[in-house]
Amino acid sequence: MAEKNVGNLVEKYGDVIAEELNVKSVEFAGSSEGLGITTVVKVSGSAVSERLGKNTGRVIGLAKQGNFEFVEEGVVVRDPASGEERKLFAGDFVVENQGDVGANAEIERDFVVVLDTEIDEELRREGVAREISRFLNQMRKTADLELDARIRVGVEAGEEVSGIVRDFEEFLKNETLAVWIRGGSRQGALLTENFVSELGDAVFSLGRADAGADE
């Protein structure tokens, strides 16, 4: 089944997908239950008519009414009155999810993507750390530094932002090629700019890292 393949892909490449989408994590639910979504199987009459003959219309109708079950090979359409079953295979049908899923979700044929937009304190602090990373890299561009140039970063900030810089220091170093990030230091600064975030403001100073700089 396609959904098993998707589940395997999400499990294997979840970290890559999360990084590309700039989200914390990606999970494959395997079911849209509880989302107010109806899964619909649309049978292709042209694909099954030769095999099903006069029963084609009946099978299409039963599938539309939701009388189907997903199995390993495809879909089984069942007549609740007689108990008769017809098995459909890939190419015989398409799966669609329908419903009003709200602003934080999107339906695309047989896929439903839902964003959990609830942000806790940990995510909020991580978000500011990423903002700082982007801010420092923009400072690098403004200073016209080479792509591989190592830098020193000074920061003057309140307790909240200083704590974020401290807790995410290794991340910031890796993302910005900084050899050190120190509070209150403007030593050798090429550029000094104000940073504003929802958790507080700061002043960042950026300079080249000399060959003999402390790391």
From first to last of its 215 residues, what are the pLDDT tens digits of the chain? 455 577 788 888 888 988 888 788 888 877 666 667 778 899 999 999 999 999 999 999 999 998 998 888 889 999 999 999 999 998 999 888 777 666 577 766 566 788 888 888 998 999 999 999 999 999 999 999 999 999 999 999 999 999 999 999 999 999 999 999 988 878 789 999 999 999 999 999 999 987 344 44
Positive/negative CA dihedral, 145, 151, 154, 159: positive
Contacts of 168 (CB under 8 A, 6+ apart): 125, 126, 129, 132
Looking at the structure, tell me whether residues 84 and 161 fall in a common domain: no
- Residue 197 sits in which domain range? 121-208
Q: Which of 82, 114, 146 is the last residue of a domain?
A: 114
Q: Which whole-number Å values give the CA distances from 196 to 118, 170, 193, 199, in the listed order?
A: 22, 21, 10, 8
Looking at the structure, tell me whether residues 106 and 147 fall in a common domain: no
Residue 22 lies in a domain: no
Q: What is the domain count for the chain? A: 2
How far is the first Cα of the chain from the last one, in angstroms, to the nearest whole number? 52
Q: Which of 62, 92, 114 is the last residue of a domain?
A: 114
pTM of the complete model: 0.58
Residue 4 lies in a domain: no
Q: Which of 98, 114, 130 is the last residue of a domain?
A: 114
